[in-house]
Amino acid sequence: DVKVTQSSRYLVKRTGEKVFLECVQDMDHENMFWYRQDPGLGLRLIYFSYDVKMKEKGDIPEGYSVSREKKERFSLILESASTNQTSMYLCASISRGDRDYEQYFGPGTRLTVT
């Protein structure tokens, strides 16, 4: 069974802290994505990665960075957390060649920055 896991379901951090969100998939997928989801705005792409050590900016990369040292793991880093980064963060992966473009999502991390 396909599985994407995220390190935390809920996280509370203080402004200025460095925050690490981890995502692991066990499907040997090449492509991995980080989104944030906010009411009324839908899912917005922060960063994505087509392969190990490869990363590209999405629509809203400011204030974030990523790391993909291993195929199964894609980490999102908030260098200095701010209150406007309070959101639901979703990780997803997809296999290269998947005609159905079925992205498999993790359960999400609800991050609150105070």
Pick 27 or 45: Cβ nearer another protein: 45
Which residues are 11's β-sheet partners?
Answer: 111
Residue 59 gets which letter from DSSP? S
CA distances from 15 to 9, 46, 49, 105 (A): 19, 20, 27, 27
Minimum distance of another protein from residue 43's CB (angstroms): 4
Pick 87 or 103: Cβ nearer another protein: 103
Q: Are 62 and 77 in contact (CB under 8 A)?
A: no
Minimum distance of another protein from residue 29's CB (angstroms): 10
User: Which residues of this chain interact with another protein, rule CB under 8 A?
Assistant: 31, 33, 35, 40-45, 48, 50, 58, 90, 94, 96, 98, 100-103, 105-108
Minimum distance of another protein from residue 20's CB (angstroms): 20
Pick 17 or 58: Cβ nearer another protein: 58
Indicate the SS3 state at residue 85. Answer: helix
Minimum distance of another protein from residue 112's CB (angstroms): 15
Handedness of CA 69, 75, 76, 81 (dihedral sign): negative
